[in-house]
Amino acid sequence: MNKVFPFDPPTPLPIPLYLHRVRAGFPSPADDHLERRLDLNEHVVKHPSATYYVRAQGDSMEQHGIHDGDLLIVDRALEAINGDVVIAVVDGSLACKVLDLRRRQLLSGNPQFPPISILEDMDLVIEGVVTHSLRYHRCSV
């Protein structure tokens, strides 16, 4: 993980949102019925002054759909609850993990990475709840 920096509220950028969904297996003709315009920032950022972006690094969260290089949207205004994907500072290092309050652990989404037990003497700070992730799908040339 890289350092965490809050961002300034973005300029609105409404983009067309079409009524019909796109099949992700068998192609069908595109439908040109516009439902409304959607500002992605408005859709994914609920608390602008408490939200920041950070890039995921590594493969420890792949089973939770978070891959190396994904852009994570993190909300510091949300109270982390059991099962949330969080950004945590564990003994000075940033980590993206699933918060398991019942077993007092931080869990990975990859069996190669063991759980991190949350101990009483541990220096642990939850820096925010990951609300969304964005992945770049175009192949690099």
From the candidates 28, 49, 97, 108, give the one annotated as an active-site residue: 97
Q: Give catalytic status of residue 97 as yes or no.
A: yes
Integer CA distances (angstroms), 69 to 12, 42, 48, 117, in order: 25, 23, 22, 26
Q: Which two tokens stand for residue 141?
A: 């040339």
From the candidates 49, 60, 108, 133, give the one annotated as an active-site residue: 60
Which DSSP category does 41 fall into? H
Q: Give catalytic status of residue 140 as yes or no.
A: no
Strand ranges of the sheet holding 5-6, from the earlier edge strand across to the other edge: 5-6, 51-55, 71-75, 124-134, 85-90, 93-100, 105-107, 116-117
Helix, strand, coil % (nearest 5) of the chain?
A: 10, 40, 55
Q: Which two tokens stand for residue 49?
A: 């002054």
Catalytic residue set: 60, 97
